[in-house]
Amino acid sequence: MCGKETSLFKAIVEGTELKVCDKCAKFGKIVERIRPAAKPKRKKDEKEEEEGPETVQVIVPDYSKKVKLARESLGLKQEELAKRINEKESIIHKVETGHYEPNIMLAKKLERFLKIKLVEEHQLEKTKAQKKVAAAEGFTIGDVIKLKR
């Protein structure tokens, strides 16, 4: 009733079953005590995985040239390529001119059809600050702000 989330009880207050704190439980009849859910234990493998390098997929810098050359080598127009991979012609045009970097899904679709390489995988090592944040499972304002000294 008060919104406190410490040790909770299931109680019937004026004909309604509610989850209430110990102080609010006096306004009704206590049915049972609610046990807090236990946190799941982390496996050893999960911990080792977090500490290892992280793999990130990135689009190659010269994606626009690769797409255009591959399309032209197949003798296709932008409109024909767009129809074959089920995308808008304007998207293909923007990708080829470098005004739009494709997301990973579109890049992989283009890779499969044009038989070119647009997505690379890079290994990222976590720094001490990143490990600390991962261990705390959240950011604090101190992680974001840099103070002048």
Question: Are 89 and 82 contacting, i.e. CB atoms less than 8 angstroms apart?
Answer: yes
Tell me the domain boundaries of the chain.
1-38, 61-115
Assign domain 61-115 to its CATH superfamily: lambda repressor-like DNA-binding domains (1.10.260.40)
Please tell me the pTM assigned to this model: 0.52
In order along its 149 residues, the chain shows pLDDT tens digits of 677 777 788 888 888 888 888 788 788 888 888 777 666 666 555 544 456 678 889 999 999 999 999 999 999 999 999 999 999 999 999 999 999 999 999 999 999 999 999 999 988 876 665 555 555 556 666 666 766 66
According to the model, what pLDDT value does residue 131 have? Answer: 54
Residues 6+ apart with CB under 8 A from 86: none
Q: Is 93 exposed, middle or buried (0-12, 13-18, 19+ CB in 10 A)?
A: middle
